[in-house]
Amino acid sequence: MSSFDIGLTGLDAARKGLDVVANNIANAATEGYHRQRVEFTPAFARQDGNTMMGGGVDISSVTRIIDNFLEQEILRQQSLLSQSSQESSMLKSIEISLGELGSGIGLSVAIDDFFNALSDLSAHPDQIAYQNQVLSAGEAMAGQFRTLGDFLNDLELQIKTQVENVVDQINSLADQIASLNENIQRIEMNGSEANNLTDQRDQLIMQLSELAGVQTQAREFGVVDVSVGSVPVVTGTTSTHLEAGLKTETQLGITPAGATVYETSIDGGQLGGLLALYNGTVDDIHTDLDTLAASIIQQVNQYHVQGVGSEGSFSELSGRTMPTGSIGDFEPPVSSGSVFIRLTYTDPVTHAQTITRHQIDIDPTTDTLTTVAAAISAITGLSAIVSSNRLQIQADSNYKFDFIPAALPEPTDTTFTGSPPPEISVSGIYTGDENQTFTFTVVGSGEVGNGTLELEVRDGDNNLIDTLNIGSGYAAGDLLDFDNGIKIAVGSGTLNAGDSFEVDVFANTDTSGLLSAIGMNTFFSGTNTSDMSLASDMMDSPGRVASSMGTDLTDNGNVQQLASVRNLEIDDLDSMTISQFYRKLVTDVGQQLSAKQTVQTNNEALMQSLINQQSNISGVDINEEAAQMLVFQQMFQAMAKYLGTVQNTISTLYEIF
């Protein structure tokens, strides 16, 4: 009864064809589904006499319509898109937090406000309103730095946590892919097709490619191996887990679980983006901001420690709490040099002042705060202690101290042989770059204001820098200026050839950097973005804003220097000014974000095109499926009709009997 067999194979084929069509339509909107096709082959033929007769139809297979090369390209582009999207998103939040050009007030305004407040103070150095303005602008700027520092710290923590979450997801997906590989292998080894399982697994690999760049390798029986970076996370039916961790203090990486072979750079996916941000972009921005904050702190403090505010010289001063041990370990670093303390004694009865200067030599390799305190305590009128690792200097009654660079009112090392000798008075603030000693030698002999009496002035290198007339034409007591900020006046008296005196002049009274490092009369405390703030003893003491550096403590020399910090081209800032460096940082972030957004847009367009191509090849077209359905429906109807015809034929035969 081969006629019935043929009919039955036809009916079965039509039914299975309809099943595949139904499955396709049912999965028309299923993500990752590939259209399936039933493959028919003519059934085994039989010989009827000399004629070969067909045996109906066989269903050879149900196959997925797929372009493997295209699928690989989609995986790759998906990873790149995911990475660029991750980086864009983070850079966008960094750009927003910087707050430049938007409605918020960014750090650039705070920096400008601080230096403008100093500039304002230079016109009114003793007025409390302007001093308060400097303090509030300084605190506002430090606050902005801290906010940014906190934001970047949080962002780094957030990235680290996100990397751990992504690694967990990768591990979970690897487990599922390995499990599906096992099922697919079992089914395919039995000679069947595991199309839907394969689609499920491929969809998981697609999800994995969003998390990290993946490489796949097809093996027999439908199994696929998957690697992330150089780590094979799925090998056949087994999976290997990953772990996230710090390779160095600032470098985050991934490693196979239990090992310490960290990879800090992964191409593609969220993981690639997150690692690139943590180890590169965010780290660079954080480092740059820290450098900027440290430079402002260091430059401002370096000038501030040498000045005094309208409160005048100090009766006592405290530094900040330092780590124990050698001074050489302090941050910012202390170098070999000296600290020059200016000490003023005021006679309680006559109110006459005696001003002296004392040099404390600093050797960072051997000195500690205790040895420095001992050296200061050896100066009559001062005592210093180290309490809780803070240096504290206290002046005795009737004494005051400061670190201003103004020349002492009297010369040192005087050798006068005339009688009576003249009184020499010195004033002014040295405008040169290096501390040195000027030597004044008398040429000629006689009374000041008479004859051809002159003073030769030589600098520390014994170069003759000026010759001053103190003979006829010079009225004793008149000021003599030799164009470096220092002025002297020679009183009435007699001088002889070869008489001499010296004047020590100072450009820097803290050549070691110790005062800045230990927070002695500093404006800011802290060393980086996160801990920058006003020095605690400045907060409520506007009169401590060190505006002056001249002998009478009323000038605006120091605050002018402080205001000029904004114009300094600082080595640590790649020879840029503070504002230039920050602007570059901000626009670099903008540039990077703009570039990433362009890459993201391109990736999206490319991905869109690839997905369309994939849809054209592997997607379900309802109309096409409907047409197929009509074919199978009519095939089924025709085969049923055929079976009816065969039945009628046989019935006709039965009627003969």
- Enumerate residues 302-361 that contact another protein by CB under 8 A: 310
CA 623 to chain centre: 55
Of 73 and 120, nearer to another protein (C-beta) is 120
Stretch that binds another protein, among 271-279, 345-353, 379-387, 612-620 (CB under 8 A): 612-620
- Enumerate residues 428-467 that contact another protein by CB under 8 A: 428, 447, 449-450
Stretch that binds another protein, among 201-209, 288-296, 359-367, 585-593 (CB under 8 A): 585-593
203 binds another protein (CB under 8 A): no
Closest Cα partner for 199 from 36, 82, 341? 36
At residue 522, the 3 state secondary structure works out as coil
Residue 399 CA: distances (Å) to CA of 393, 394, 551: 12, 9, 15
Of 45 and 101, nearer to another protein (C-beta) is 101
29 binds another protein (CB under 8 A): yes
Of 117 and 178, nearer to another protein (C-beta) is 117
List own/partner pairs for 198-205 with CB under 8 A and 24 or more apart. 198/64, 198/222, 199/32, 199/33, 199/34, 199/64, 200/32, 201/177, 202/32, 202/34, 202/71, 203/31, 203/32, 204/173, 204/176, 204/177, 204/180, 205/75, 205/177
Can you give 308-356 as a three-state secondary structure string?
ECCCCCECEEECCCCCCCCHHHCCCCCCCEEEEEEEEEECCCCCCEEEE
Residues contacting another protein: total by CB under 8 A: 73
- Which residue of 22, 45, 246, 622 would you call a contact of another protein, by CB under 8 A? 622
Q: How far is the CB of 588 from another protein (least distance, A)?
A: 8
Alpha carbons 611 and 71: distance in angstroms, whole number:
9
587 binds another protein (CB under 8 A): yes
- Enumerate residues 76-95 that contact another protein by CB under 8 A: 91-92, 95
Site string for another protein, 529-568 (x = CB under 8 A): ---------------------x-x-xxx---x--x---x-
Q: How far is the CB of 557 from another protein (least distance, A)?
A: 9
616 binds another protein (CB under 8 A): yes
73 binds another protein (CB under 8 A): no
591 binds another protein (CB under 8 A): yes
Q: How far is the CB of 371 from another protein (least distance, A)?
A: 38
Site string for another protein, 466-505 (x = CB under 8 A): ------xxxxxxx------------xx-------------
Q: Are 496 and 418 in contact (CB under 8 A)?
A: yes
Alpha carbons 343 and 59: distance in angstroms, whole number:
107
Number of residues written out for the chain: 657
Of 239 and 560, nearer to another protein (C-beta) is 560
Residue 567 CA: distances (Å) to CA of 320, 524, 564: 29, 19, 5
Residue 375 CA: distances (Å) to CA of 320, 339, 570, 627: 19, 11, 33, 101
Tokens of 376: 């200061």
- Enumerate residues 96-125 that contact another protein by CB under 8 A: 96, 98, 100-102, 108-109, 112-113, 115-116, 119-120, 122-124
Site string for another protein, 357-396 (x = CB under 8 A): ----------------------------------------
- Enumerate residues 124-143 that contact another protein by CB under 8 A: 124, 126-127
Closest Cα partner for 573 from 251, 328, 297? 297
At residue 461, the 3 state secondary structure works out as coil
- Which residue of 141, 589, 635, 639 would you call a contact of another protein, by CB under 8 A? 589
CA 360 to chain centre: 39
Of 525 and 556, nearer to another protein (C-beta) is 556
Alpha carbons 518 and 318: distance in angstroms, whole number:
9
Of 108 and 512, nearer to another protein (C-beta) is 108
619 binds another protein (CB under 8 A): yes
Q: How far is the CB of 623 from another protein (least distance, A)?
A: 4
- Which residue of 623, 651, 654, 657 would you call a contact of another protein, by CB under 8 A? 623
- CA gyration radius, the chain: 44
Kind and range of the H or E element at 232?
Answer: strand 231-235
Spatial CB neighbours of 120, under 8 Å, sequence gap ≥ 6: 130, 133
Counting beta carbons within 10 angstroms of the beta carbon of residue 352, is it exposed (0 to 12), middle (13 to 18) or buried (19 or more)? exposed
Of 266 and 448, nearer to another protein (C-beta) is 448
611 binds another protein (CB under 8 A): yes
